[in-house]
Amino acid sequence: MPTAPAVAVKKDLLGLSKASLIAELDSLGEKPFRARQIFEWVYKRKVSDFAGMNNLGKALRDRLDAGYTLSTLAAYRVQRSKRDGTAKYLFQCADGQLVESVFLPHEGRNTACLSTQVGCAMGCTFCATGESGFARNLSPGEIVAQVQGMEADQGVEIHNLVLMGMGEPLHNWENVREAMSALLDPAGRQWGPRHITLSTCGIASGIDALRESGLKLRLAISLHAPEDGLRAGIMPINRRYPLKELMRSVRDYQAATQLQVTFEYTLFKGLNDSPDQAHAVATLLKGVESKVNLIPYNSVQGLDFEAPDFETVLAFQEVLKKRGLIAMVRTEKGGDIDAACGQLRRREA
């Protein structure tokens, strides 16, 4: 029986940095200004097909259409909060994989929470995404397409990004770097680096790579415990990068960027919520310009963790404040729509 001819896969130009796009167009014999034109069509005018780029010659548009694509993501399911306007998106990739994103409306500054992987390989024991396992990295185009998909559906501009969705951004660093470089470029969205926050579970070598890239993104560390034994039990990455190495990378990053670092601390009832542990957090963060977001655990069906009562949360916060730290209890958004990362995809699966 004859074998069916292979179908050529078009290369995705969405999410490529301007430098990468120039290199790609150079391989077609085109001048750098053509790449800059395409870059502006994609990011300033949000055009998603080459036919609409009317300052490119028809021959070039035809060549681009034949060999390239600008990826889009289809909204497989959307949950919209009746409380605060938060919207949780389950996007479907071209290969059928599902990935979550969240739109967070604020007056004058809408925020998008993006995923960087399908699933996650970090294995944090309290996380719905980790329970679903790891499938693959998202491409630069799939990362950027989440922004464009939410903007198209909401009919508004997004001003801030947080890389806090499914996956570990520094485990997909090359693609994340490419996508963020595209979005930060003055010829593109013109976002300043202070409008993008990258959240990591603590890959110290990845924080070093971020520092060396010069992108100067805001950094958020998922801390969740102030001592190695407890942290390694709930976050396996701590076995590879214990707190001493993590804090070394954080201090180096802060010295290079002069940016305040955020520490995310999810509070679990009876596990990491005592006053003594609050004092240990304050000691660990001494000398780092930081703020701490305290997050009462958002329950996930099938996982044996609970949130402490609010009095315990406030007592933990009070210890940190008395020790001179900025400590905020993060208010829940979208609590009525599978708010915890990974819940919607997990339930769909």
DSSP string, 284-329: HTTTS-EEEEEEE----TT----PPPHHHHHHHHHHHHHTT-EEEE
| 134 in the same domain as 28 | no
What is the DSSP code (8-state) at residue 3?
A: P
| Domain co-membership, 155 together with 299 | yes
- The pLDDT value recorded for residue 340 is 52
Looking at the fold, whether 43 and 108 belong to one and the same domain comes out as: no
Same domain, 202 and 283: yes
Residues 39 and 187 in one domain: no
Residue 300 has a pLDDT of 82
Q: Is residue 2 part of a domain?
A: no
CA distances from 327 to 221, 230, 257, 323 (A): 14, 21, 22, 10
Burial (CB count within 10 angstroms: exposed 0-12, middle 13-18, buried 19+), residue 270: exposed
Q: Which two tokens stand for residue 306?
A: 């609970």
Q: Rounded to a whole number, what is the largest CA-CA distance in the chain?
A: 76
pLDDT of residue 108: 76
CA distances from 29 to 43, 52, 112 (A): 23, 21, 37
Residue 191: the pLDDT is 85
User: What per-residue confidence (pLDDT) applies to 193?
Assistant: 82
State the DSSP code for 56.
S
What is the domain range of residue 254?
74-348
Give the model confidence (pLDDT) of 111-168 as tens digits. 999 999 999 999 999 988 777 789 999 999 999 999 999 999 999 999 999 999 999 9
pLDDT of residue 250: 98
Please identify, among 49, 69, 89, the residue that sits at the C-terminal boundary of a domain. 69
Q: pLDDT below 50 — which residues of the chain?
A: 347
Residue 41 CB neighbours (<10 A): 20
Kindly state whether residues 93 and 57 are assigned to the same domain: no
Q: Which of 34, 23, 41, 31 is nearest to 56 (CA)?
A: 34
Q: How many domains does the chain have?
A: 2
Same domain as 185, residue 230: yes
What's the pTM?
0.92
Indicate the residue type of 294: L
Same-domain pairing of 50 and 146 = no
Assess if residue 290 is contained within a domain. yes
Instruction: Name the amino acid, one letter, at 312.
Output: T
Rg (CA), the chain: 21
Domain boundary among 69, 88, 111: 69
Residues 6+ apart with CB under 8 A from 66: none
Residues 254 and 321 in one domain: yes
Question: Which CATH number goes with the domain that contains 50?
Answer: 1.10.150.530
Instruction: Give the residue among 155, 179, 148, 128 at the shortest CA–CA distance from 303.
Output: 128
Amino acid at position 281, single letter: V
Task: Give the contacts of 87 (CB within 8 A, at least 6 positions apart).
Answer: 78, 79, 80, 81, 102, 103, 150, 153, 154, 334, 337
Number of residues assigned to the chain? 349
The reply to whether 254 falls in a domain is: yes
Q: Locate 219 and state its tokens.
A: 């950094």
pLDDT at 303: 86
Angle between helices 310-322 and 275-284 (to 10 degrees): 40
For residue 335, what pLDDT is reported? 58
Active site residues: 100, 341
pLDDT for 331 equals: 72
Nearest CA to 329 out of 315, 339, 314, 340 is that of 314
Q: What is the pLDDT of residue 105?
A: 94
Closest CA to 196 of 174, 222, 217, 165: 217
Tell me the two tokens of residue 103: 């739109």
Domain assignment of residue 227, yes or no: yes
Q: Are residues 336 and 190 in the same domain?
A: yes
Does 284 lie in the same domain as 215? yes
Q: Is residue 1 part of a domain?
A: no
Predicted pLDDT at 257: 97
Whether residue 125 is found in the same domain as residue 260: yes
| CATH assignment at residue 138 | 3.20.20.70
